[in-house]
Amino acid sequence: MTIGETTTVQQAAQSKATTNADREPGSEKAGARRELEEAVRSANETGALGPSSELQFAFDKDSGKALIRIVDRVTSEVLVQLPSENALRAAEVLKNLRPGDRIA
């Protein structure tokens, strides 16, 4: 099993804005999304995670789960991800279990 692609907070916000045209721009969710984007931008601008790392929030496209990542700014290597890929895989396996199934 592979973990699905991700979409960033900004991509998700743009997608929601175009698919939910009936939603008011001042809604609570839109406001919370803007606050999250601003907090991430502020953390990255201040270098709170070091000069070569940045904070990213994303959503796994397959599971819809929110992901928190610390990424190397130069190489784009994911240094830390919460939940981890192993945790996402385990959750997927557990979700698909039926009564009587055994985990090998």
Question: Would you state the structure tokens that stand for residue 62, as one six-digit string?
Answer: 């397959």
7 close to 56: Cβ distance less than 8 angstroms? no
Helices (H), the chain: 9-19, 28-46, 85-95
Q: Is the pLDDT of residue 56 over 80?
A: yes
Position 1 scores a pLDDT of 31
CB 69 within 8 A of CB 53: no
Least confident of 3-7, 37-41, 50-54, 86-90: 3-7
| Cα–Cα distance, 67 to 47 (Å, whole number) | 20
Whether the upstream peptide bond of residue 83 has omega within 30° of 0, thus cis, is yes
